[in-house]
Structure 1
Amino acid sequence: MKKILLFLVIILLPAAGYAQDYFVSNNGTDAPGYGTLTQPFATIQYASTVATAGSNVNVMAGTYYWANHHPNQFRNI
């Protein structure tokens, strides 16, 4: 039983280290080293490229637009 428990700890512990929390805010910066609560990313798109399986992307309150689009650029089709 102890061997099985030790095996599970060895296998599952490294996987827990890869999951990370990232943050996105309108006043953030899309650059390496950012993505924390105090220095968030600026776009959801950038956070999605940095995040790995098991990571959490926390989007703070605000209005977000698709890349290279602004409300004034939308037109009726």
Structure 2
Amino acid sequence: MTDSKLILILIPIGIKCCIAVVICLILLGVYFHNFNETIEAMGVKGIIISAVCVAFGMALSLPTKMYLTFILVKRESERSS
């Protein structure tokens, strides 16, 4: 298998894994904030923990959005030419 084929296979798998991690982090933050009594009992520290989960999820979603936008632009330019 050539390097270019290996890259074409591994990048989408990595992006899908990153998207899964993003969704899990955001859902974990929402779960902590709304449904977990232990986090609620922690007060401000609990709010910070849930906010950090959501913030890391949002930060990790940026590279995946950039990659997907790049792919869509590339496909659109190939169709028009």
TM-score of the two chains, using structure 2 as the length reference = 0.31
